[in-house]
Amino acid sequence: MDYVSALTPPIVMAIAFTALVVTIVKSQGGANKAKEDAIVDAAARKTDG
């Protein structure tokens, strides 16, 4: 049963990493994309000018 305790942390980390990636992908685009793009464009204009 030592293999269970040895495999548990990597499995938990893999699940957490997958959830993080899914969250990041879901947050791209959608309703917030235009607002985020506008903020970035405004910041870019401030640094250019």
Residue 49 or 19, more confident: 19
- pLDDT of res. 46: 82
Domains of the chain by residue range = 2-48
Please state the φ and ψ torsions of residue 29, each to the nearest 5 degrees.
Answer: 75, -160
Give the number of C-alpha atoms closer than 13 A to the C-alpha of residue 4, restricted to the C-beta side.
Answer: 1
pLDDT at site 6: 93
pTM recorded for the entire structure: 0.54
Q: What is the C-alpha separation between 6 and 34, in angstroms, rounded?
A: 45
DSSP letter at 10 equals H
pLDDT, residue 49, reads: 58
Over residues 20-49, the pLDDT tens digits come to 999 888 877 667 777 777 888 888 888 775
Provide the token pair at 45: 């204009």
